[in-house]
Structure 1
Amino acid sequence: GDTIHIHTTTVGLYTLKCEYDRRKELIDSVTLLSLSTETIIKIFSSILYEQKIIFIGNELGTLTRLINTFICLLYPFSWPHTYVPILPALMLDIIQAPTPYIIGILRSCESYLSGNEDLLSQDNSDIIIIDIDHDRIRSINDYLTGNTHRSSMDNLHNLPSTYTESTPLQILPKIFKIELKQEISLLRKTRSSLSLDDCQQRLRDVFMSIFVQSCYNYRDYYYNKNFQREDFIQSKQHTIELFLEWFTRTQIFELFIRHKFETNHSSNQFAITFDFACEKYGQTLNKQTSQRITAKSVKRKSATRANKQEIRF
């Protein structure tokens, strides 16, 4: 795993040995950035929302690398549902499963999908199709009815019927979407001067920052052998409360809490990179809060002193 060297004024230099996590190595920045920024954010949001997602592409390698990349970007969380990077044509019945999944299908198998009568006769509004070769997101209903006349950009604004007001595209805080857009755009501009490893690390950091900002104090709310969900949500800014309302109910989040506190894993060894980032972020917040309080106190004292002088004269 990674080794982090930390120098503090209280205990001096010490070293953290991070858990070995191959997910950073599996991030393919080239394949990911071949998609538009809007599409990347919408796919990421759909995964967090635990939707049924089917990726379709021409090339096996590109398809598997892209799907693996999105799974890796969930760090420190994991996808707890069905995950098949390449689904053989003879097993396409899996897409009718009632639970969430992430599945990859080669375009050569599309005919099996469109010719599935059972699929046509059922309500599949909760399934989305991601065409990675054309940067297009469609509902499976649009796909099966041959509604392909819209352009790539049109599809980004005319999303599947499952994307209503209660879906992640609206629930994902605006501040997070803006941050992701800015960081991904910056990476596009600078990646030619970065090594592959640097690009992988930058992408991981960008997406992990969403979880750090929203969950940095999660450890403070696990006590009495339970995660105190409501108290945790109430400790956050109003702008991210709705996001945490649904995210903390997902199996993605619940699995993380179980691994961290309720299994035989040592909490000091699991997701240590994430915990270190959370601790650093929390310290920065506390410092900023302290500075704001100090600044307000100085202004208040100055105003009081000025008032006393006016009264004296």
Structure 2
Amino acid sequence: MKVEKYRVQSTCGVLDQPPRVDISAGSLSLSLASAATGGKLLFIEMMLLVGMDNNSGLFPKELEEGNSQTEDIFSIEYQPKVLDCFCSNTVRHFYPSTWDEILLNSQTMDLKMKEKFRTNPTGNNIVMPKPVYFTKRTKPTINQLSDEDIQNIAVFCFPDGAKLSAQRTDNFKVHYFVLTDFLGVRNYATCLTFHRKYEATKERKTWKLKPFEKTKLHGNSHYTESVIVYVPHACAFVSTQPYFTVMKQCLSILLNKIKLTKDIHTQNLLFQEFVRQLCITPLPPAGTLAVGVHLSGHEVILRPPHHSSIPVLDLSLHIVFQCFPIETIIQIITCILTEKRIVFLSSNYALLTIVTESLCSLIYPFSWRHTYVPLVSDSHLELLEAPGSFIMGCHLKHLPTVKQIADLVMVNIDKGTIIVNELEPIFGAMSYTYVINIPMMPQEPVKLLAEVYEKVKFSFDFIDLESPCRFNRKEELQFRFQKISSFNKRMQYAFVELMVNLFRDIAPECKADLKCFKQNNFLQKQLPANIPFYTEVMKTTLFQEFLDNILSKKPSFWSELELKTRTLSRKSGFSQNVFVSNAHSMTGTKQGLVSTSIEELPNEFIFFIPSIYNAVSCTEYLKDCIKVCTEKLQDCRHFSHRTSLTYLRGMYSYAGSEYRLAYEDLKNLHESAESIYISPKFVLSNVAISFSYSLSDLRSFRMCSHKFLIFVI
């Protein structure tokens, strides 16, 4: 196999343009990510191993003056560290010093590349031979995260600190968190905690860890003191999309392997093999085609939203409705729409992110753009005093501290209540009380939503009564998925209808040619009791973004549903599957409230990608993926499925440097429909750059590129 010119980045092979993929799995991962502009085509960005080991040492979090680390090793709270970062075929080790290991033992690695790397003089690992080179637009980071940022993730894996245990524990826990950078770009993580067995030895008044399997106890020695300890560790998957449940499934599969393997080195090798497949698994485009992958005999399926403007929802919405009554949910939604300072509290860390993510998904077509930290660790509670609007979450034990912060809306998840902090500053002899104003959402759309919810809830609660028992585990899992999926779809649709009914009158007052919105005309059409709500919402940046999308005529599921029901909202009475309520019959707006039945989507089609472990090289692996896509396209007759398969084949072709084939697939996507919303808007730009190596191809591209209607996922 011919070795092309290459550059090495900190995490994976980065190739000079045009990108080649016959060097490593890391190159494949990067090529697919570049095809998606921003890396949003791939399922897993990285897996982090967090904890403490013999290389990182033990760092006490806090020690009172006069106390020593040697007093009681089990009562001290330690600072967890990010030990390793697994990325495709590369592992970054942070202790005892930072260095990158290229996994040349992979079957997808070109054997001729071995001579390009030297071995670590302190071991048998492979390290980079020379300083790293970067292009002008590439930062020396792991998937655009600096080493400092990666180390900061450790506090989210152990939000209440890490302590050693004297006894073996099988208390495995999963929780979730979200990472937001200063530009507002989010990464989503699912974390699994477990314990590893070590020997702790006291040397010179400090405790040091040694792998248990490589040592012998010296408890009776006169010179040393040793004790067996179980050290907490965490595996965290990080993704650009909120596939929390799928990441939990992958971690559960990985946990079975951890239980069977006690050797630490063997566990790390399992991590490498496990993560490699997930880092090259593509995310499915919006539609009805799901992407599946086989992991250790289990099927893991990534399901996309049915419309490109709707965010991914991979959790159970019924959890939110179990925690809060519908009236409280409407109150919280109002607080989000009016951009209040909101703090969620719960004694369960897993609930914090699940509840906040669920509520934020229900405000579509609006999206929260301010500070967003669903899980705040014990050591970062000062974030709750930050200025401006935010959504944060912390443990319920910090409720007394949160109560001392003014201008907060506190949501107690455990009790299902919402509390507004009141501030009473005293100036001279007078006392002032400051109360946050939470306007009331218009009641007619809310009543319509409550009616839909009662029907959905009744069906969800009693569907088990009329269904036979399933003794097959796979059938039971499928039934549970269908039950939760049905609830999610119906409630998502109901909340989109709520937003259509609330903001339907916005569109007629928007003049796209003048780029203006006649706010006074809109308010004059509303009932007096509803004006405070709309006035507060219109002050927010959240509403301004929504308004910009309407003025620019950006396609969205909200706009499609509003247009479809526009004529229905002007009528009254009943029709098949349509109920129209003239809420403002005399004094209000002429447009009524509409509740339609959810459209039946085509049956789901699951496309299982080939396993990389069966491939000889990355080039052959990409050819296998293209071949499988082509075979499925020949057998598939459904338009939506064919569109998604064509898109995936185009991305695989682009990653494999088959630029002409990639261009043809993108062109066919456009010619087969008036508008396709599944392609990232910069894909054709990347293809054009690749075509620039052939002038004729570039001219051909420029002649046709103006015909494309491509929007962001």
Which residue matches 1:190?
Answer: 459
Among residues 433, 438, 447, which one is paired with 1:167 in the alignment?
Answer: 438
Greater relative CO, 1 or 2 (CA 8 Å, sep 6+): 1
TM-score between both structures, scaled by the size of structure 2: 0.31
Among residues 472, 497, 515, which one is paired with 1:209 in the alignment?
Answer: 497
Which residue matches 2:400?
Answer: 114
- Contact residue 319 and residue 355 of structure 2 kept, 8 A: no
Among residues 502, 507, 514, which one is paired with 1:219 in the alignment?
Answer: 507
Q: CA deviation at 1:139?
A: 3.1
Deviates more, 1:75-84 or 1:34-43: 34-43
- Contact residue 27 and residue 200 of structure 1 kept, 8 A: yes
Classify 1:24/1:232 alpha carbon distance in 2 versus 1 (closer, same or farther; 3 Å). farther
Instruction: Find the aligned partners of 1:101 and 1:46 in 2 and give their Cα distance.
Output: 11
Q: Which 4+ stretches in 1 moved above 6 angstroms?
A: none
Which residue matches 1:128?
Answer: 409
| DSSP-derived class of the 1:78 partner | coil
Which residue matches 1:22?
Answer: 311
Instruction: Find the aligned partners of 2:529 and 2:410 in 1 and give their Cα distance.
Output: 30
Encode CA deviations 1:114-163: one digit per residue, 9 max, x unaligned: 358xx84x6x1x21211111222223459xxxxxxxxxxxxxxxxx9735
Equivalent residues in 2 for 1:27-176, closer than 5 Å: 28-108=317-397, 110=398, 114=400, 120=404, 124=406, 126-140=407-421, 162=435, 167-168=438-439, 171-176=440-445
Instruction: Find the aligned partners of 1:43 and 1:268 in 2 and give their Cα distance.
Output: 27
Q: CA deviation at 1:22?
A: 2.9
Classify 1:236/1:25 alpha carbon distance in 2 versus 1 (closer, same or farther; 3 Å). farther
| DSSP-derived class of the 1:67 partner | helix
Which residue matches 1:282?
Answer: 566
- Contact residue 445 and residue 501 of structure 2 kept, 8 A: no
Q: CA deviation at 1:20?
A: 4.9
| DSSP-derived class of the 1:22 partner | coil
Q: CA deviation at 1:44?
A: 1.6
Matched, 1:230 2:520: yes
Instruction: Find the aligned partners of 2:326 and 2:571 in 1 and give their Cα distance.
Output: 33
- Contact residue 54 and residue 102 of structure 1 kept, 8 A: yes
| DSSP-derived class of the 1:216 partner | helix
- Contact residue 338 and residue 540 of structure 2 kept, 8 A: yes
Classify 1:268/1:43 alpha carbon distance in 2 versus 1 (closer, same or farther; 3 Å). closer
Encode CA deviations 1:158-179: one digit per residue, 9 max, x unaligned: xx9735xx532xx312223323
Which residue matches 1:256?
Answer: 546
Instruction: Find the aligned partners of 1:276 and 1:115 in 2 and give their Cα distance.
Output: 45
Amino acid at match of 1:135: G
Which residue matches 1:181?
Answer: 450
| DSSP-derived class of the 1:282 partner | coil
Which residue matches 2:256?
Answer: none
| DSSP-derived class of the 2:566 partner | helix
| DSSP-derived class of the 1:129 partner | strand
Instruction: Find the aligned partners of 1:70 and 1:232 in 2 and give their Cα distance.
Output: 27
| DSSP-derived class of the 2:345 partner | strand
Instruction: Find the aligned partners of 1:244 and 1:99 in 2 and give their Cα distance.
Output: 20
Encode CA deviations 1:98-124: one digit per residue, 9 max, x unaligned: 21111010235x1xx6358xx84x6x1
TM-score between both structures, scaled by the size of structure 1: 0.67
Q: CA deviation at 1:235?
A: 4.0
Instruction: Find the aligned partners of 1:141 and 1:237 in 2 and give their Cα distance.
Output: 30
- Contact residue 139 and residue 161 of structure 1 kept, 8 A: no
Q: CA deviation at 1:43?
A: 1.4
Flag structure 1 segments of 5+ consecutive residues without an equivalent.
4-16, 143-159, 293-313
- Contact residue 216 and residue 279 of structure 1 kept, 8 A: no
Q: CA deviation at 1:92?
A: 1.6
Identity %: 21
Which residue matches 1:155?
Answer: none
Q: Which has the larger radius of gyration?
A: 2
Amino acid at match of 1:286: R
Matched, 1:273 2:557: yes
Instruction: Find the aligned partners of 2:350 and 2:326 in 1 and give their Cα distance.
Output: 21
Instruction: Find the aligned partners of 2:421 and 2:309 in 1 and give their Cα distance.
Output: 38
Encode CA deviations 1:39-97: one digit per residue, 9 max, x unaligned: 22221222222211111112222221111000000101011211111012222212112
Which residue matches 1:305?
Answer: none
Greater share of residues in strand = 2
